Amino acid sequence: MGFSSRQLGFWLAVLLTLSVAGCANVSYRDAASRPFFQKPYYVASHGRKTWWDRLIELDPGEAKVKVTPEFLKNPPERIAVLPFVDEGTAQYVVDKLPITMRDREERERWAWTDAQRLRHYMVGYLATREFIVLNTIGIDAVLAAHGIRSGTELAKVSPQTLGRWLHADAVVYGTVTHYEAYYFFLVSAEQVSMKGRFVSTRDGHTLISFNGGRYHVNPMPAIDPIDMMLNSAQTLMDMRDINIARAEDEACREVVIRIPRSKILRQRLIEQALENESGQAAPTTAPSTASSGGSGPHAGEKPLATTRADVVTKAAWGQSAFPRAFSGAQPAPRTRSKAPGMKTAKANLSGTASAIPPAR
């Protein structure tokens, strides 16, 4: 049974109308009226690679994160990510062979550059969580002021001492283990991997240890000789800096997404935000002091009133947050006064604490 041109035109018009109607956007009024603070889907799995993802992308890398019971019981609130160390040659390596001839000064700069790229990605992903992550500019300034200018010198300083210097509850050590490329004509790849640990500044115990990496693989199979030459050129052009950056980003994301979310820290942030909004001076209390009766590395010290942006953000440190956050200077006390209805607001928000999506 055939269709006439008129019938065919009719059904095409129907299909076109349905497709346009199905793709129509909601009105601005409907979109703006959607409520905030919903419980998001797939918080713990979105962005986390599965075996299927690694198979499709030909990525043999993996991420292993070991969390101790101490972290679950007493999670650190203020985290300082220390400078990472690059244990490689700091040359541009392809197929395990260096193809650059950098002198010592260049190698030192490239080792610092590669290591800090991963460090900053780690800071970025931790900042989207329930932790207060100290700015790396302030951390580096404090370390330099104490004469710490290399990984060897940093390893000689105890975590407890670092905690006093930085007013941090935990410090993160990191080491870049692989930062290299591979080229086999029809296949090219970049590998970035690292290892490290979160260490408590209260007792020096390891809270989290991690080891992970990422391969960015670009296979271009071919049989015909001309296709082989063209594909070999294409895989060579795929060895670009942007792919290295993607590998760095993914390696850190895979580690952070495996760190359990702390309801304790989440609730503490909610309470502090509501108290600060009501005009109360709500200092950030280190978990070690709050949960152990003042037996941590900051025992006897008045905790600092801080926020996520409590470190160096201005060029002139004399009037910036630097002296408060790192020199031990105490903030001026503020008048405590409760706003009307604050108890009700805290109760309502506490009830939906688990439904508030993480900051992005």
Can you give the CATH number for the domain in which 238 is found?
A: 3.40.50.10610
User: Is residue 341 in some structural domain?
Assistant: no
Q: pLDDT tens for residues 94-141?
A: 988 899 999 999 999 999 999 999 999 999 999 999 999 999 999 999
Is residue 241's pLDDT more than 70? yes
Q: What is the mean pLDDT of residues 231-236?
A: 89
User: Is residue 344 in some structural domain?
Assistant: no
Is residue 296's pLDDT more than 50? no
User: Is residue 337 in some structural domain?
Assistant: no
- Residue ranges making up the domain that contains 177: 51-256
Rounded to an integer, what distance in angstroms lies between the CA atom of residue 162 and that of residue 164?
5
Determine the 3-state secondary structure of 164 from DSSP: helix
Is residue 65's pLDDT more than 90? yes
Q: Which range, of 8-22, 87-101, 212-226, 255-269, averages the lowest pLDDT? A: 8-22
Q: Give the model's pLDDT for residue 27.
A: 73
* Number of residues in the chain: 360
User: Is residue 339 in some structural domain?
Assistant: no
Rounded to an integer, what distance in angstroms lies between the CA atom of residue 129 and that of residue 308?
11
Is residue 341's pLDDT more than 80? no
Instruction: Kindly give the interhelix angle for 263-277 and 342-351, rounded to the nearest 10 degrees.
Output: 160
Nearest by Cα to 304 from 323, 278, 277: 323
Q: Give the model's pLDDT for residue 14.
A: 74
Q: Give the model's pLDDT for residue 322.
A: 40
**pTM of the predicted model, to two decimals?**
0.69
Is residue 2's pLDDT more than 80? no
Is residue 63's pLDDT more than 80? yes
Nearest by Cα to 231 from 239, 219, 241, 243: 219
User: Is residue 212 in some structural domain?
Assistant: yes
Is residue 235's pLDDT more than 80? yes
Q: Give the model's pLDDT for residue 345.
A: 44
User: Is residue 102 in some structural domain?
Assistant: yes
User: Is residue 347 in some structural domain?
Assistant: no
- Our count of domains for the chain comes to 1
User: Is residue 109 in some structural domain?
Assistant: yes
* 49's tokens: 């690679």
Nearest by Cα to 303 from 132, 184, 179, 178: 132
Rounded to an integer, what distance in angstroms lies between the CA atom of residue 128 and that of residue 360?
5
Rounded to an integer, what distance in angstroms lies between the CA atom of residue 212 and that of residue 174?
11
Q: Give the model's pLDDT for residue 26.
A: 66
